[in-house]
Structure 1
Amino acid sequence: METVTPNFKKERPRYFFKEWRKHRGLTQEELASRIGVSASSVSQLENGKQGFTDSTLEAYAWALGCNPGDLLMRNPLEENAMWSIWEDAMKADPARQQQIVDYARFLLGKAS
């Protein structure tokens, strides 16, 4: 019988700092300047070599025009993601927004 050795090495969580920076069209230097840190710190954070605090997360979110949770859970470069459609819909005028909601409800079988 073959013995299997478990792998207890923790994998790093996947965050989206780099993707949000690219989504906003910023270089590491430009983002660093907005936050008041070095470009090296931005690079280390993006590559998972440096951790972050709540205040760091809030500073990045402010500088990138998103919510802190977005940096942890949403890849802005993912095409056709539901949240990106939502963001586009929120930019529409109120009448168009209502049309979008009505159509989505219809497609989901929840038309009123």
Structure 2
Amino acid sequence: MVTRIGPRDPIKHYLKEWRVYRALTQQQLADRLPNGDDGKPTGKDQISRWERNERGMTMDVQAALADALGLENPGELFRDPARPTLDELLKGATPEQRIQAISVVRALLKTG
């Protein structure tokens, strides 16, 4: 009997969503990446394979993609850009609005 360790499917990433969110074509994103270990530039075909999860992304690739997309860290590739974080939502809020928002979140967590 074979025992599987870890998920059967790759972890969902949002590479395509981030690329579209940044208004980049696959070629434009590829052009922002450094050359591969073989010295060749990354092409749009490779971006397409990553987006379709046909090719795995090493940690180095994730870091390069995050940098090319202007993300703070590679972990953001696994978050949908259409769903902003609480920090992003509160970025332009006044101190009073922040206090109100935190109160609402605390109330929601108590009732949930």
Same fold (TM over 0.5): yes
Please say if residues 20 and 76 of structure 1, whose CA atoms lie closer than 8 Å, have aligned partners that are also in contact: yes
Any unmatched runs of 5+ in structure 1?
1-7
Alpha-carbon distance, 1:46 to partner: 0.8
Flag the 1:59–1:105 CA change in 2: closer, same or farther, 3 A. same
Instruction: Pick the structure with greater CA Rg.
Output: 1
Distance in 1, Cα, partners of 2:28 & 2:59? 21
Moved more, 63-72 or 40-49: 63-72
CA–CA distance in 2 between the matches of 1:61 and 1:94?
31
Give CA-to-partner distance per residue, 1:70-97, whole Å, 9 cap, x none: 213x1223xxx4xx15112123344432
The normalised TM-score by structure 1 is: 0.68
Structure 2 length-normalised TM: 0.68
Residue 88 (str. 1) matches residue 94 (str. 2) = no
Partner of 2:37: none
Structure 1 counterpart of 2:49, which letter?
Q
Amino acid at match of 2:105: A
Counterpart position of 1:42: 47
25-34 vs 12-21, which moves further: 12-21
Give matches, 1:51-66, under 5 Å.
51-66=56-71
- Alignment match, 2:31: 33
User: Displacement, 1:60?
Assistant: 0.9
Q: How many residues align?
A: 96
The residue aligned with 2:39 is none
* Structure 2: distance between partners of 1:18 and 1:41: 12
Deviant stretches of 4+, over 6 Å: none
